[in-house]
Structure formats: structure tokens, C-alpha cells
Amino acid sequence: MRLALGGVQFGTNYGVSNRHGQPSQRKVAEILTLAQDSNIEVIDTAIAYGNSEQVLGELVDITKKFEIITKLPPLKKKKFSPADCAYYSELLDLSYQKLQTKKLSGLLFHSADDILKEGNEELLQKIHNLKKTKRLVKSGVSLYSQGSYSKLLNNPLVELVQIPYNCFDTFFSSSGYLQKFKERNIEVHARSSFLQGLLLMDLQDIPKYFLPWLDKLALFSQVASELSLSNLELALSYVVKEPNIDKLVIGVNDVKELEQVTQAYNKALDVEHNRLPNLSSLDPKLINPAHWQLD
């Protein structure tokens, strides 16, 4: 299945539409069991996702049946020092320990610039050695829309990229990057298919911050109605229609949500994609949650 399970909810209170907080260990176990039964094979987590790695590691009897991807936190400096490389190496070793695994399917730099920064040679050698000893399958980067990534396309360590992609944010398709990734056999995972749940919210529940885009959100709901789809089914339809996206990373807070997503995913596969209107936006204040001001 092309669906992958996001782990940010397992370690933080994540999502603009999340009213339930971080799920309990029991709920995470239930989610993972259903994910396995649904042929979902990949879990995406990160060092920055609170205690997500720890939670997953404590459920090793389940998680050992999945491919696990994690991410290194951004370096908030222009270049790496030897101390930075040593610290990041320790963080990486700690991820293996927390996850109780000897092998990771993927390791991403949460900030793509970090893979190119001066002084990172020792850290890159560490990653190379992990791959050489079969403890790491693929390395890569997490990307953000409206960036320039030409320097990454031929970087041998960029074998996997994670991108935001949804009905409003189609930058990686319109810019041609999805095709370029495909040509270079770079695996692509898409996140933010629901814009942190914004696309799934009833219009009357949308935070005041989004009022400038209320017409656009209303249009999304109108299209769903016209196509006899739920908002969830429509949101997934915009992602599954892209053949160059290998995995859709989705986050859920309980078993019921995962059941709804898998059912909607199967329906989205049958949607006539030429009936989906272009809803793209270039406004970073809408499509990039880093710009949201919800307080």
C-alpha cells in the first residue's frame, strides 16, 4: 500500500484539528496493529517529534514488522563544527536505541540545507558507514515548497525525499521536481495531505486565522460535494493521482481515524482524476504551517 503512518502524533499534541491530544501507549499499539493488518509498511518519525521514538521503541514487538524512517533535527548554524558532528552522531545512535532497532529504512535531514553545509563530513561519513554495514537503507532530506533544490538532485546521499503535497500545495509537481526525482530514482514520500487536518474541518470550526482563505476552503468542500466525496476522500484524491509520489504519510490519533483514512484511500484510487479542478495556491501563509499564527 502507498500509505505510510506518520509518527508525530505519537509524541506530540499535533494538528490544527486535533482535539484529543497525544494518544496513549495503548491507542498507539492499536493503531499500529491495524496499520499492519491494512498492509501499511512504513512508519515515519523524527527526533524532533517529542517522545515518538521512545513510544515506538516500547512497542518493538509491533514496530519490528515495519520499515522505520526518522529525521535529524535542523542545525541552526551556517556550518557544522566537530562538536556538532559528534552531537548529531550521538543523536543518531540514540535513535537506534530508543527505537530498539538495528536497522533503519530511512534517515532524513529535517533541514535539507544541512546535508550541504560546510563541516558536516564526519556526520556524512557516519551515515555512509551505516549504509555500508546495512544498518541504514536510504538517506535523504525533508523538503519544503517554493525552494530551490537543484544542488540536491545529484547528491548521492539523497535517495529519499519527503515533501508537502495537497490540493493547495502542488509546488513539487508544477515546478517539475517530482519528475526530476523520478528520473533519478529518488523515492518520494508526501506529507501534509490534509494540511494538519485543516482540509477536514467543518467551515464553522476553522480558526479565525484562516478567514482570508475561507472562500478557497469553501470551494474545496463544494468540489467534494459535487463529486459525491467526503473532504477526506477528496484530499487523498489530489495526492494519489500523482504517479511520482511513492508513499502518502498520514497521521491519525486513534483506530477509528485510521479506518476512515484507509477506506477513503481506497475510494480515492477510483476517482476520475481529470475531474479534479486546480485548487493550487502560492500563498505560504496558507500552505506552510510554519507561517500559521493560531494563538
What is the predicted pLDDT for the residue at 21?
Answer: 65
What is the predicted pLDDT for the residue at 268?
Answer: 97
Helix axes 214-226, 231-240, angle to 10 degrees: 90
Q: Report the C-alpha gap between 129 and 134 in whole angstroms.
A: 9
Other Cβ atoms closer than 10 A to 20:
13
Q: CB of 40 within 8 A of CB of 4?
A: yes
pLDDT, tens digit (0-9, with 9 covering 90-100), for 200-219: 999 999 999 999 999 999 99
Strand partners, 138: 106
What is the predicted pLDDT for the residue at 11?
Answer: 83
- In the block, cell 537543484 appears at 150
Q: With a cut of 50, list the residues of the chain below it in pLDDT.
A: 14-18
Other Cβ atoms closer than 10 A to 212:
11
What is the predicted pLDDT for the residue at 220?
Answer: 98
pLDDT, tens digit (0-9, with 9 covering 90-100), for 92-104: 999 999 999 999 9
Q: CB of 72 within 8 A of CB of 114?
A: yes
The domain spans of the chain are 3-290
Other Cβ atoms closer than 10 A to 137:
16
What is the predicted pLDDT for the residue at 17?
Answer: 43
Query: Alpha-carbon Rg of the chain, whole angstroms?
Result: 19
CATH number of 3-290: 3.20.20.100
Nine-digit cell string for 130: 551505516
Which among 186, 189, 184, 148 has a CA at the least distance from the CA of 165? 189
